[in-house]
Amino acid sequence: MATSIGRQVDENYVEQLYFTNSAIQEQFINTIENLKVLARASPEDKMIIAMGLKGMNKKIAVIGDGMNDVESFQIADVSFAMGSSCSYARHHASMVLVEDNF
């Protein structure tokens, strides 16, 4: 999706990144500091990352499509639900991407 919206994807693009509740703050900061796009994150990862970035006073956007994404939607500055998302996710998102066939 990043390339679909014209975002330059380089070495800071991570296809999958797994954080657990045991991840320590220093590791989080070192990993997240240069990250631009994170794809295929689990709802739990999205929430951990959103909370961590908020703690660093960063502005964040979250994209999701399920009920499990709503918690990270509420933490994010802006949230996007896919048009094919469940109605609960669409209701709680800042914006709904009606056309999600990228």
Domain boundaries, the chain: 3-97
Query: Could you tell me the pTM of the whole model?
Result: 0.69
pLDDT in tens, 71-81: 999 999 999 99
pLDDT at 67: 93
Which position has the higher pLDDT, 55 or 96? 96
Contacts 24+ apart (CB under 8 A), 3-11: 4/102, 7/36, 7/37, 9/36, 9/37, 10/36
CATH of domain 3-97: 3.40.50.1000
CA–CA separation, 18 and 22 (whole Å): 11
